[in-house]
Amino acid sequence: MEMPDEISGRQVVLWALIGSHNYGLETESSDEDHMAFVAPTFEDLYRGRAYHAQSVTLTDDVVVHDVRKVPDLLWKSNPSFMEVLFSRDLRVPETFAVPYMNRIVRMRDSIAAMNLPVFWRTTMGIHTGKMSRLEKGTESTMPLVERYGYDTKQAMHAVRSLLVLEKFAGNGFTDFGSAITATPAERELLLGIKSGRYTLDGFMELDAETLSRVEALRPLYESREPDRETFGIVDATVMDLVREALDQEQTF
């Protein structure tokens, strides 16, 4: 999908490929997922609202957020948002926002490690949530439940979340990009889960073994103090971006 200049009258300031194509788990049937951040308009600021939208087509999914949400989303350390900064196709369009967004992108390694206790809890929560839905499925994954007896796509992502925790700790919290990228062996394992290679009992055993390994890493995550200095820089950078966005709109 081509990057738009604007979405609903708001300038795009960051555009990134996310999802399976971003971490090496795409197949021929995989949609392309993107996330965009947009500058607020004067009316957004006046009304106290933050724009959010999602567009889903047969081949492309796009989620859009107001750039003012960036500091909070990154501080909450949800890997789904942090992966944006490590996208294989990350674009900062030529707008007034270039110096601000480039500053944040350059800080991505520090940002990924700035709140490790929360990253641990968030990622483990993702794992727990996906495991709890294995036999329920979703509207789009019910065929998997009917065929294999459980939601193999949720199962794949449950194990993947644990592998991200294991790999990030393994590189000393210095390379989030490699932690979210599947190696050839991991790709074979994870896509094997998705394709139903394991019975439900076999998958549960695999997950339990992986979880046992990863649980041993809890002290490494929980002992790290949050980096409020890095958060402050991100927050101030976005504030400066929004201030200039307002100036730009007034000038226009």
What pLDDT is recorded for position 96?
95
Let me know: does 32 contact 1? Beta carbons within 8 Å: yes
What pLDDT is recorded for position 251?
55
Query: What is the spatial distance between Cα 154 and Cα 220, in angstroms, rounded to a whole number?
Result: 27
Print pLDDT tens along the chain (252 aa).
Answer: 788 999 999 999 999 999 999 999 998 888 889 999 999 999 999 999 999 999 866 567 899 999 999 999 999 999 999 999 999 999 999 999 999 999 999 999 999 999 999 999 999 999 999 999 999 888 888 999 999 999 999 999 999 999 999 999 999 999 999 999 999 999 999 999 999 999 999 999 999 999 999 999 999 999 999 999 999 999 999 999 999 998 876 554
Which alpha helices (H) appear in the chain, and where do they start and end? 42-47, 70-75, 79-82, 98-106, 108-112, 116-132, 142-148, 152-170, 176-180, 184-194, 200-215, 218-222, 228-251
User: Which of 213-248 are b and which e, b meaning 16 or more Cβ less than 10 Å from the residue's Cβ?
Assistant: ebeebeebbeebebbeebbebbbebbeebbebbeee
**Residue 16, beta-bridge partner list:** 35, 90
What pLDDT is recorded for position 61?
87
Non-local (6+) Cβ contacts of 97 within 8 A are 11, 13, 14, 39, 67, 241, 244, 245
Non-local (6+) Cβ contacts of 18 within 8 A are 33, 34, 35, 80, 83, 84, 87
What pLDDT is recorded for position 58?
53
Helix axes 184-194, 152-170, angle to 10 degrees: 160
Neighbours of 55 (CB within 10 A): 13
161: exposed, middle or buried (C-beta count within 10 Å: 0-12, 13-18, 19+)? buried
Domains and CATH numbers, the chain: 6-111+227-246 (3.30.460), 116-222 (no CATH)
What pLDDT is recorded for position 252?
46
φ, ψ of residue 227 in degrees (nearest 5): -95, 90
Query: What is the spatial distance between Cα 19 and Cα 179, in angstroms, rounded to a whole number?
Result: 14
